[in-house]
């Protein structure tokens, strides 16, 4: 199969590099009902049952020997009017984007429980600032959560749903304005892989203070110039990588990153740059075509013959070949170099396995015309 340039065209697969935006936001349906002024055990049981239905356990402090210690009650004076007022206040915070300092009252399998006046909000673990997990990577998220009980965190209300009793909070978004103002497109960061998904990897960015304050996404198409079928083959949780900022969406609080754009685009390279230098001799493993001694890669000869049938092509010749030290793909891959033509000759590179061949195209067509002709040929070639 020949690959040129992500749509499928006949038997030819085109590998484009499209960057899709993805978000990773966890909205957990935790229903918490603050106890009233009454010390009725049924009210407390109702609270605990609802909390347990979310994750199976809720922890506050270090004593988990009984249900009485699962969640401290700090709203003994709160009744329906007070709760309604606090829900209105939470909605106002959500709309304005203002932050507040909330005390961590406990945690469960999915996140932290944080006091907001008479209400208890939920902060999913992915919405903690990455500096917490990166600072002590050997600790589990639950061990980190345990150390946060009793402390106050700057948080932002991201969802205030009174009807369904959902009050979702985020520390990450609360700190976004402070640190994002120091990030610009083109900035290069050292980062740590936080999580790997099918569509890409989330990278925590290290700032000058040595802490990781923000997280960005490297889409699968931006991991490498080589074809990446599974991001997990290239990146793993905890890996340290260098990334460049390619986009900042301040409205959605998202940073888009790239790893491959810190390397040269293969489309700009000649065969000398594509072929890695031999460590012993210091020279590329290249051979020139002195006559017709270079055997075309499997399938390439047919493609070149078809190219000569296209209008505007004068001559097509395999000029040089070499061998890489890595195998990118066993399939035949073609790409047109963006280097300026020399004496009216454009350079087409073909790769299969470790073998790379440089083809000189003598044509009256411009670069765009050559690409269109190649696409027509690849449609015809089985």
Q: Which residues contact 350 (CB under 8 A, 6 or more apart)?
A: 297, 300, 332, 333, 334, 356, 357, 359
pLDDT of residue 126: 92
pLDDT digits (tens, 9 = 90+) for 313-354: 889 999 888 887 666 667 888 888 877 777 778 888 888 887
pLDDT of residue 2: 53
Give the tens place of pLDDT for each residue, 265-287.
Answer: 665 566 666 655 443 334 445 55
High-pLDDT (> 90) share of the chain, %: 45
* Contact of 148 with 169, CB cutoff 8 Å: no
The band of 150, judged by pLDDT with boundaries at 50, 70 and 90, is: very high
pLDDT at 110: 93
CB 130 within 8 A of CB 175: no
pLDDT at 268 (0 to 100): 55
- Please state whether the predicted TM-score (pTM) of the whole model is above 0.75: no
Partnered with residue 4 across adjacent β-strands are 334
pLDDT digits (tens, 9 = 90+) for 52-107: 333 334 444 433 333 322 333 334 445 677 888 899 999 999 999 999 999 999 99
pLDDT of residue 327: 66
Give residues with Cβ within 8 angstroms of 185, minimum separation 6.
Answer: 245, 246, 247, 248
pLDDT classification of 198: cutoffs 50, 70, 90: very high
């Amino acid at each position: 199969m020949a690959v040129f340039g992500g749509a499928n065209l006949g038997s030819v697969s085109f590998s484009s590099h499209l960057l899709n935006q993805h978000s990773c936001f966890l909205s957990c349906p935790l229903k918490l009902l603050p106890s009233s002024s009454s010390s009725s055990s049924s009210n407390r049981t109702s609270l605990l049952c609802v909390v347990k239905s979310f994750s199976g356990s809720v922890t506050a402090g270090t004593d988990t020997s009984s249900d009485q210690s699962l969640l401290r009650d700090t709203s003994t004076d709160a009744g329906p009017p007070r709760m309604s007022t606090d829900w209105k206040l939470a909605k106002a915070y959500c709309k304005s984007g203002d932050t507040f300092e909330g005390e961590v009252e406990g945690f469960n399998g999915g996140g932290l429980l944080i006091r907001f006046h008479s209400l208890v909000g939920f902060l999913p673990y992915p919405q903690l600032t990455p500096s917490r997990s990166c600072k002590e990577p050997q600790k589990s998220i639950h061990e980190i959560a345990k150390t946060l009980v009793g402390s106050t965190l700057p948080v932002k209300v991201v969802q205030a749903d009174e009807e369904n009793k959902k009050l979702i909070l985020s520390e990450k978004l609360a700190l976004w304005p402070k640190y994002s103002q120091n990030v610009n497109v083109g900035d290069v960061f050292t980062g740590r892989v936080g999580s790997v998904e099918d569509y890409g990897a989330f990278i925590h960015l290290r700032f000058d203070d040595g802490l990781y304050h923000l997280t960005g996404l490297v889409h699968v198409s931006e991991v490498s110039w080589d074809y990446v079928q599974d991001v997990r083959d290239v990146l793993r949780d905890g890996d340290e990588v260098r990334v460049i900022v390619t986009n900042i969406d301040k409205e959605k609080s998202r940073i888009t990153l790239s790893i491959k754009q810190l390397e040269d685009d293969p489309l700009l390279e000649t065969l000398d740059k594509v072929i890695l230098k031999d460590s012993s001799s210091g020279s590329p493993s290249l051979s020139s075509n002195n006559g017709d001694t270079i055997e075309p890669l499997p399938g390439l000869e047919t493609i070149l013959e078809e190219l000569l049938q296209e209008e505007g092509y004068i001559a097509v010749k395999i000029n040089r070949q070499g061998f890489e030290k890595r195998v990118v793909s066993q399939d035949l891959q073609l790409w047109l170099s963006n280097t300026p033509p020399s004496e009216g000759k454009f350079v087409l590179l073909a790769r299969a396995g470790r073998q790379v061949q440089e083809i000189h195209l003598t044509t009256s067509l411009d670069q765009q015309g050559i690409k269109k002709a190649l696409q027509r040929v690849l449609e015809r070639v089985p």
